[in-house]
Structure 1
Amino acid sequence: MTLINPVGGAPASGGVAGSAIPMLRQYWNVIWNRRLLIITVVATTVAAGLILTLLADPQYTARARIEVAREQANITSVEGVQPEDAGRDLEFYATQNALLTARSLAERVSRQLNLSRNDAFFIAHGVDPDAAAEGVGATPAGASLTSAQRRQRLVVDTLLKHVSAEPVRGSSLFDISYTSGDPALSRRIADAWVRQFIQSNLDRRFASTTDAREFLERRLDELRTRLETSERELVRYAAANNIVRLETSGTGKTGSSPGMQTLASVDLQSVNAALAMATADRVAAEGQLNASRARGVSEGSLNNLSINNQRSKRAEVAAELAGMLARFEPDYPPAKSLREELTALDASIAREERRAVSAVQATYDAAVAREQGLRARVDARLGKLNTQERALIQFNIYQRDVDTNRELYNGLLQRYKEIGVAGVGANNVSIVDAAELPVKPSSPNLLLNLILATFMGLGIGLGVVLVLENLDETVIDPSKVAALFDASLLGTTPVSESGDHYVELGDPKSSIYEAYFTVGSNLAFATDHGVPRSFMVTSTVEAEGKSTTGMALALVLSRLGRKVVLVDSDMRRPAMHNNLGLVNNQGLSNYLAGDNNWEDLMQRSPIANIDFLSAGPQPPSAAELLSSDRLQKLVESLDKKYDHVLVDAPPMLGLADATLIARAVEGVVYVVESERVAARGVSSALQRLREARGKVLGIVLTKFKSKHTGYGYGYGYGYGYGRDEDAKSETGGAWKSGS
């Protein structure tokens, strides 16, 4: 049969079972059990924090804010060196954060403010410059430092300890804080820190272009020399080949330099244009000449004013002559005179026409001669140009070399100028808020320090508790009894409130009686026939409550109307007769030594239904007496007369008595004192009992401090719950023997 253990615990074979306590509850139980230790540790740390806070010198923190803008590192205006991405932003701002607390920056601030010679600086930080500087030591190379160098190094170390740089989340801002005992000094150093950071940033930017400038300067010198050499070669070749280049608005004939032509090509173009005009003039003159020859009258004569006037006059004379001949005879003198005048006019017109034809011929001849002369000049210029064009091939090679060198030189010169401008350009670091004079100390913060001390005390206290709990091998938690010892927990009994267990056992309403009543109830389920007819009570060491447990169980059984015999088998140190107010003149040792009349050895106890067999006189060897079969026979004889035989056995540690007695009884009730005996000792003793074929009925955890450990009893109701007689009467029904 299995009974749910009111105090918890895992089920054990053949005994009482229990429900496991949750892990959090177990931790809470441990904390509650050691709460006084935790409170002491917390109180100590809080007191120490309070004292240190009150004794600490006030510290003042000045804070300045700067903005560090993300900037592309450009060598020229053409392209960026670094791509923009989130990873590089994180790297950039992490680098800036490290630079803000760099040792080189602290050295700059120290030099600017001359802090190594400022005694107020050391006083504000509580540092003795002379004593502390001696501990700075030597350089890594082994060379000793001068006093000024040691003070300077001490200043730098102190600055780095008291400065902090923190980025403002989600922005490009940084807060630079400096803390010291002097508010004015804190502000000065904070301001100097940000200004020196800005200056150092400019210096780094300028220094970063030094190598580039030096490289470009060397390249510019080389290209300048190459350009001058190529230009001299070009001029020399042009002079040697009579090449003269003229600037034009177009592209040269040979595809050489754009906007340039040679003098020969320009001359050829002008002569060729004149030839074209001469040819046109010759063609026009030839046309006039052919026309005049075909008509007999030149076209020019028709346009001659003199000839036209004479022809007009001849027409008038001819008309007048015709009119006169119509009225007069041909020999009429005026008519004759008119004929003579007409003849003279014809002769004059003929002379003028001949002169006009000669002029057309002369014009034609001149046009032909001019055309032939210009054609000869064109042929001459063309030959010269062909020769020069062949020379221009090499000239253009020289020209391209000059152009290439000039472009390279101009490009590098432009980059050199850009780098020079970038070195002195705008800074990407700016001050957002200058440091203000602190008006109140930033530390010590009494409230914060007390809170931190409290949490520190809790942490230390919990750590100590966990260490002690792991080092403590005693049994504290009833729920672990079954798992530790492979035995059922019959119950737990509290520490005596009055200090006298036997007085409290006389009160059925006392907590200790209630606890043993529960043990008796659980013991009824230890066998299939109820409470064992014979059983012994033992423990690991003395003074664990073994005798009290035996006395209490006998009392509980007797009050239920059971006839009980209580046997004190501890013949080495008998004590139960004193608890009952009886004597120990004779007893168990007499019977085991050979006295067969055990009834004469029995004593009536002052408690109804309880008889008592004392240990008797101390024998030379108790183990030898117990190893005989007389003990088994005695138990069998007592079992016939009494309902229950309860044997108070000696403790297990170092003795064989209990293992010998265990073979003579039905089972063993094992007593373990809470927070006293190591679990390893209990396990070893139980193992000895089991090896001796003793049946462990269960374990009673005595002197259990339920109100101080937080484990509780009876599902948290305490030992006093349900003390009314009706409840006990109902529980008592489980005590009836099934035999």
Structure 2
Amino acid sequence: MKIERLQDKVQVFERSSDNFMANSDVVVKNEFESIIKPETLYPVVDKLDLQLKWELPTRQAALGKLRSNLDTQSSIRSDFVIIEFFDKDPALAATIANAVADSYMTRRVEVESKQKESALEMLNKQITEQEQLRAQAQLKMQEAKTKAGIVGEWFSAGPNSTVPGAELRTTGDSMAVTREQAIFQADLDVETLSAEIGQLQTLEGDELVARAGGLKLDNANVAQMTGELQRLEVAREGLVNQGRGRRHPEVLANDSQITKYKELIAAAAKDHLAGLQNRLESARKRKEALEASNQDAKSELLGQQSAFNEYKTAKDDVTDIEAILRTLKTRYFETKAGLEIFKSPATIYAKAEPEGRPAKPNVALNLALGGILGLMFGFGLAFALEFMDTSIKSLDDVERFLGVPVLAVVPKNVGILHRATGFNPDAEAYRILRTNIEFNRKNRDANCITVTSGGAGEGKSTTLCNLAVVCAQGGYSVLLIDADLRRPSMHTHFDAGNTTGLTNFLTTNVRMEDVVVRTAVENLYFLPSGLLPADSAGILNSQRMSDLIEDAKSRFDIVLIDSPPILGVSDASVLANEADLTMIVVQHRRLPRQTLMRVKQTVENVGGTVLGVVLNNVDLRADSQYQYYTNYYTYYSPDNRPAAEGGKPKKRRKAAGETAPARTPGGDLF
């Protein structure tokens, strides 16, 4: 099915093609999404009676099933849409798919029709409003035209002018220029006359008479009188030069004539000044009259221009309203024609048909995807667990993070060696431990070894007990001291009492021979912990404890001291300082690496020397990398009989004979 790009709304004004295409793409996308809307699917539910056919309780449930089994696909580069429906009944699936397409087309036709009808009502309303506005604007234009005194439609400002009011503007402008020129000329006359009057008023007496010829006086005889005056003055000068005195009759007659002409010239200058003042007064009055006339003319012209502008604005309003009205009427008739000739909103190119074989499920694909996802999830989970597990998992981890060698790897579920009967392959791990201790001891006199761990329950006491048994079986005289004064357990491995032991030796004056007991294992002697004291760290950190260790080192080949966990209590730190070497027991995959690093640092901080690490409780079945440590245990067993994997603890039996004080009457331990 192809969705047609119909215009969803009526546009009154044109818009650009780019915006139209962008909006058109949005319309197609919205129409595609509307296929699965309830407005489209509810008619399908009702038409095909799907609620009853599917035996569902509500109409909404039928809609939900219809939407869940309906699949619509669209193309990015085209307007084609594929509608698919999945059902066990192929015929029903095809019917529903076709019904969905028909329902969409019907709904869209209804929506488009309602939109166009609403648009027609809106356009008709706007046309009515615009016609009313046009009538009001035309009335306003006629009033402005009458006010401006415009008789015709256009004014003429020349043979090629079609501008309304051009003659009014041209005539008014010409008259305004003429008035301005007249005012300018009057102002110039006033200034000229004022300058001449000022010049005359500054001249007096002989200076006025001397400059009268150049003042352009109104009296025409002034020039003649000025010439005669000059002649008389020259004649007088000649008389004086001839030796005539000032009182000579000829000189006096000449002076009389000079005085007469000067008075005549001065009188003419005064008359000229009075005439200039009269002309100045007239020029000023003329200027004032011109300015008043110009102001009135300007006011009249501005009034005419304002009236014309009002008319022109009203006429432009009428023109704009008529343009909008024409556009609205055009859209109205186009929309009305579109209702009568309606284009189909979609074109169906291929109807849905029943499939010959099931489309779902794709068993092969599902199995392949399930297998791939399962493997990915499994590998991811394994890597995640491995990444989050910060415990010690291998020998390399120990040597990399702690920087000490691994002395032995002890399998899981190893019991007490001296309680087992017959050949026990688990003892080989402790023989390896004994051998590595011998080779890693740099000083042969360093025969006092304490064993500690980071936490409780890591197999520290069991490891020390079995190591003591193996060393004793190897011919070493061994003293095993239970210095765990917090939770002693070593005495249970030898079925010995715990009422007398180390605490008695440290707090009283008893001798070592009185508290050390001989075990059923040859060459192995045991010093129990004794009753638990209130301050275990205090009595361990005493001179008597140091003396005990020195005495034991001189009497025995190997002295092994059991201690509590070093983290959390201070007893193990004291023993690590007193002993020559310290061995750390690490349970496989238990404590984090940082905790074990703290164990080593604690031993070194108190002055102890870390001999190495025993990796204990290793599950050989889960960690195949350790199996080569035990592959040869059973291979070299008597008659090549494989021992039980994992070294199950054998049935416990009591040690041969009761343990008793090691000292014979009147003798030493040896």
> Normalising to structure 1: TM-score of the pair?
0.47
Aligned partner of residue 209 in structure 1, secondary structure: helix
Partners of 2:445 and 2:615 lie apart in 1 by 19
Give the one of 9, 16, 26 matched to 1:91.
26
* Structure 1 residues not aligned, in runs of 5+: 1-65, 130-150, 231-253, 257-401, 726-739
Q: What code does the residue aligned with 1:83 have? A: D
- Verify the 8 A CA contact 2:408 2:429 in the aligned structure 1: no
Partners of 1:222 and 1:655 lie apart in 2 by 97
How far did residue 703 of structure 1 move?
Answer: 0.4
- Verify the 8 A CA contact 2:464 2:560 in the aligned structure 1: yes
- Verify the 8 A CA contact 2:406 2:614 in the aligned structure 1: yes
How far did residue 708 of structure 1 move?
Answer: 0.8
Partners of 1:652 and 1:606 lie apart in 2 by 29
- Verify the 8 A CA contact 1:178 1:190 in the aligned structure 2: yes
- Verify the 8 A CA contact 2:434 2:470 in the aligned structure 1: no
Partners of 2:487 and 2:9 lie apart in 1 by 99
Could you tell me which residue of structure 2 aligns to residue 201 of structure 1? 108
* Structure 2 residues not aligned, in runs of 5+: 139-159, 163-317, 637-670
Could you tell me which residue of structure 2 aligns to residue 427 of structure 1? 344
Instruction: Confirm or deny that 1:702 pairs with 2:619.
Output: no
- Verify the 8 A CA contact 2:453 2:586 in the aligned structure 1: yes
Aligned partner of residue 426 in structure 1, secondary structure: coil
- Verify the 8 A CA contact 1:545 1:702 in the aligned structure 2: yes
Partners of 1:456 and 1:99 lie apart in 2 by 35
- Verify the 8 A CA contact 2:412 2:619 in the aligned structure 1: no
- Verify the 8 A CA contact 1:570 1:615 in the aligned structure 2: no
Q: Describe the shift of the 1:192–1:531 C-alpha distance in structure 2 as closer, same or farther (beyond 3 A).
A: farther
Give the alignment of 1:38-437 within 5 angstroms.
Answer: 66-70=1-5, 82-83=17-18, 91-113=26-48, 115=50, 118-121=51-54, 123=55, 127-129=56-58, 151=59, 153-168=60-75, 170-180=77-87, 182-217=89-124, 415-423=331-339, 424-437=341-354
Which is worse superposed, 579-588 or 663-672? 579-588
- Verify the 8 A CA contact 1:76 1:419 in the aligned structure 2: no
How far did residue 426 of structure 1 move?
Answer: 3.0
Give the one of 524, 540, 551 matched to 1:637.
551
Q: Describe the shift of the 1:673–1:89 C-alpha distance in structure 2 as closer, same or farther (beyond 3 A).
A: farther
- Verify the 8 A CA contact 1:568 1:576 in the aligned structure 2: yes
* CA deviation profile, 1:283-328 (whole Å, cap 9, x unmatched): xxxxxxxxxxxxxxxxxxxxxxxxxxxxxxxxxxxxxxxxxxxxxx
Give the alignment of 1:615-634 within 5 angstroms.
Answer: 615=528, 618=531, 623=536, 626-634=540-548
How far did residue 705 of structure 1 move?
Answer: 1.5
Aligned partner of residue 638 in structure 1, secondary structure: helix
Could you tell me which residue of structure 2 aligns to residue 139 of structure 1? none
How far did residue 450 of structure 1 move?
Answer: 6.2
Partners of 1:548 and 1:672 lie apart in 2 by 13
Identity of aligned residues (%): 23
Give the alignment of 1:545-560 within 5 angstroms.
Answer: 545-554=459-468
Aligned partner of residue 537 in structure 1, secondary structure: strand
> Normalising to structure 2: TM-score of the pair?
0.52
Partners of 2:460 and 2:32 lie apart in 1 by 72
How far did residue 536 of structure 1 move?
Answer: 0.6
Partners of 2:604 and 2:479 lie apart in 1 by 25
Q: What code does the residue aligned with 1:615 have? A: P
Could you tell me which residue of structure 1 aligns to residue 242 of structure 2? none
- Verify the 8 A CA contact 2:482 2:561 in the aligned structure 1: yes
- Verify the 8 A CA contact 1:100 1:197 in the aligned structure 2: yes
How far did residue 71 of structure 1 move?
Answer: 6.0
Q: Describe the shift of the 1:632–1:548 C-alpha distance in structure 2 as closer, same or farther (beyond 3 A).
A: same
Instruction: Confirm or deny that 1:671 pairs with 2:585.
Output: yes
Partners of 1:590 and 1:410 lie apart in 2 by 122
Partners of 1:221 and 1:577 lie apart in 2 by 114
Partners of 1:581 and 1:532 lie apart in 2 by 30
- Verify the 8 A CA contact 1:73 1:80 in the aligned structure 2: no
Partners of 2:332 and 2:500 lie apart in 1 by 122
- Verify the 8 A CA contact 1:626 1:661 in the aligned structure 2: yes
Partners of 2:124 and 2:25 lie apart in 1 by 35
Q: Describe the shift of the 1:550–1:86 C-alpha distance in structure 2 as closer, same or farther (beyond 3 A).
A: farther
How far did residue 537 of structure 1 move?
Answer: 1.3
Q: Describe the shift of the 1:619–1:179 C-alpha distance in structure 2 as closer, same or farther (beyond 3 A).
A: closer
Instruction: Confirm or deny that 1:595 pairs with 2:494.
Output: no
Partners of 1:666 and 1:517 lie apart in 2 by 20
- Aligned-pair Cα RMSD in Å: 5.7
Tell me which of the two structures has the higher relative contact order, counting C-alpha pairs closer than 8 angstroms and 6 or more residues apart: 1
Partners of 1:574 and 1:409 lie apart in 2 by 108
Instruction: Confirm or deny that 1:536 pairs with 2:469.
Output: no
- Verify the 8 A CA contact 1:544 1:702 in the aligned structure 2: yes
Aligned residue pairs total 457
Partners of 1:538 and 1:693 lie apart in 2 by 15
How far did residue 435 of structure 1 move?
Answer: 1.9
- Verify the 8 A CA contact 2:500 2:515 in the aligned structure 1: no
How far did residue 611 of structure 1 move?
Answer: 4.2
